[in-house]
A and B are shown apart, each in its own frame.
Chain A
Amino acid sequence: MIPTSFDYKKANSVEEALSMLGDDTQILGGGHSLIPALKLRLNSPGTLVDISKISSIKEISDGGDSIAIGGGATHASIANDKSLDQYCPMMGQAAREIGDIQVRNVGTIGGSIAHADPAADWPAILLAADARIVVQNKNGSREIAADQFFKGFFETALEEGEIITAIHIPKSQKNSNSCYVKFKQPASRFAIVGVAAAVEMDGSVVKSARLGLTGVGEFAYRATAIENALTGKPLNETTINEVVQNATENTNVMSDHFASEKYRAHLANVYLKRALRKLG
C-alpha cells in the first residue's frame, strides 16, 4: 500500500520543527499510528515534519520530584528504564505489553497520547499517575494535567502546531504503589480493557487512590466514584468486592466484534478488581 504524495522535512530541534509546522503539515513521531493511516489513505497531509530524530525529546531523566519522559521516548526505552520501575512500576508494566518488540522500538509515548486511540494504554496510566504533559508551541510552552488532556474519541487538549516535548510523572507515594493490567486484543495487543491503579496507603487503610481505565469508553477516564469509596477502607477482598461495582458509570461503553458493551462493562469491573488485589 502506498500513501499519497507528501513532502518530508526532518527537524533537528524542537524549535526547527515548530518553524516547519504550518498549514497542511503533520508531525511524524514514531509513525506507528500515522504511517498505517497514510497507507490506508485515511489521512493525506501535504508535508510531514519528522521529529523522531530530535535527541533532546527522547530522554528519560530525573527531575527531582518527578521523572521527566521525553515526548519522543520510545515504548522500549520506557520499558527498560530502572527509575520508572522504582518510582512508578505501572509505566514499565504497560510499556512491556504494548504491541510487540518491533512496535515498542519505534512508537513513542508522545505520539500515542497525541493520537489518543480509545484503546491505547498510555492514557489510562497518565491519568492514574496524575502526569503533567508539557507542550511547546511558537509562543513558548504550557503544561496540561492529564485530567484535562483526554477530551474525547481521538481528541485531546493539544492545539494545532503544538509538540509534546515531555511527560512528568510525579514521584508520589501513590505512583510507587501502582500497577497496570489489561485484557488484550489478541492480534494487535491494544487494550479491550486496561486498568491503571495507583493507591496510597495510610497504615492498613487507603489514603487515596487514582484509577484510570482505557479501551472501555470513547476515551480514557478515571473511576472517581470508586476512588472515593476506597478512601479510608482497608484494601482487602471485602472492600474490593463491595466498592468495585460499576466501573463504567457515566461512560459510554464501546461495543465491537471483539467485545460487546455488556462484556466490556463486566471486564472493566473484573480488571479493576485484579489491579486492586495486586496492590493490597
Chain B
Amino acid sequence: MANKISINVNGKMHTGAIEARKLLSDYLREDLSLTGTHIGCDTSSCGACTIHLDGKAVKSCTILAVQADGCSVTTVEGLATNGELHPIQEGFKEEHGLQCGFCTPGMMMTATDLLKSNPNPSEQEIRDALEGNFCRCTGYHNIVKSIQYAAKKMA
C-alpha cells in the first residue's frame, strides 16, 4: 500500500507516495538521488547513514521513510550554503580528516549535532560522541582534529 509523505529535505519540500517498508536511507538515495548519505553496514552499527531528523543525528538505515513524514531532514548535501563549505566540511579538508571518505558524511552529521549541544567539546567528548560512527581508514585522529577545527571556527 502506498503511503503519502511530505518531507522537507535540505530546505526543499518533497512529496510522494512510497511503500511503508522503504527505509529513509533508501528513500534519500534512490528516490531523491541524494547519494551523499552512505549505507555501510545496513545494520544500525556503522553510522555512515547518519542524517539529521528534526535537527537530531539519527541512523537513516534504521528509520522508515514514512516515519519522516512531516519532519525536516538534513543530509550532508544540506551542510554547505550557497556553495560555501560548512566549517565542519572545511575542517575535514584542512585537517585531512578523511581517506577513502566513506564514513565522512556520517561523521560530519554526528559532529554537527554534537557542536550544537556542546560548542566547545573536549577531545574525550568528541571521541565519545563518535561512538556510533566507524572509520576504517584514519584511526580517528584527524577526524577529532577536524571537529576541533570546526568548533574553533564556529565559536
B58 and A35 form a contact (CB under 8 A): no
Selected interface stretch from A85-93, A95-103, A119-127, A147-155 = A95-103
Indicate with 1 or 0, residue by residue over B7-35, a CB within 8 angstroms of chain A CB atoms: 00000000000011101001000000000
Selected interface stretch from A5-13, A209-217, A228-236 = A5-13
Decide yes or no whether B44 CB sits under 8 A from chain A: yes
Give bound CA distance, A187 to B131, whole Å: 9
Q: Whose C-beta in chain A lies nearest to the C-beta of B110?
A: A101
Neighbour of A48 across the interface among B20, B44, B56, B58, CB < 8 A:
B20
- Which B24-62 residues have a C-beta within 8 angstroms of A? 26, 42-45, 47, 50, 56-59, 62
B19 and A102 form a contact (CB under 8 A): no
> Could you say which residues of chain B place their CB within 8 Å of the CB of A76?
56
Neighbour of B64 across the interface among A31, A105, A187, A189, CB < 8 A:
A31
A32 and B69 form a contact (CB under 8 A): no
Neighbour of A106 across the interface among B47, B63, B129, CB < 8 A:
B63
B62 and A101 form a contact (CB under 8 A): no
Q: Interface size on B (CB < 8 Å)?
A: 30
- Given A1-B42, A36-B62, A39-B42: A105 touches B57 (CB 8 Å cut-off): yes
> Could you say which residues of chain B place their CB within 8 Å of the CB of A100?
47, 131-133
A102 and B50 form a contact (CB under 8 A): yes
Give bound CA distance, A53 to B110, whole Å: 23
- Given A99-B132, A102-B59: A5 touches B19 (CB 8 Å cut-off): yes
Decide yes or no whether B95 CB sits under 8 A from chain A: no
Decide yes or no whether B73 CB sits under 8 A from chain A: no
> Could you say which residues of chain A place their CB within 8 Å of the CB of B44?
32, 35-36, 103
- Given A35-B63, A106-B58: A188 touches B45 (CB 8 Å cut-off): yes
Decide yes or no whether A218 CB sits under 8 A from chain B: no
Q: Whose C-beta in chain A lies nearest to the C-beta of B1?
A: A7
Give bound CA distance, A6 to B56, whole Å: 27
> Could you say which residues of chain A place their CB within 8 Å of the CB of B62?
31-32, 35-36, 106
Neighbour of B20 across the interface among A6, A101, A106, CB < 8 A:
A6
A residues with a Cβ closer than 8 A to B are 1-8, 10, 28, 31-32, 35-36, 38-39, 48, 50, 52, 76, 99-103, 105-106, 187-189
Which are the 5 A-B pairs with shortest beta-carbon distances?
A100-B132, A8-B20, A100-B131, A105-B56, A3-B21
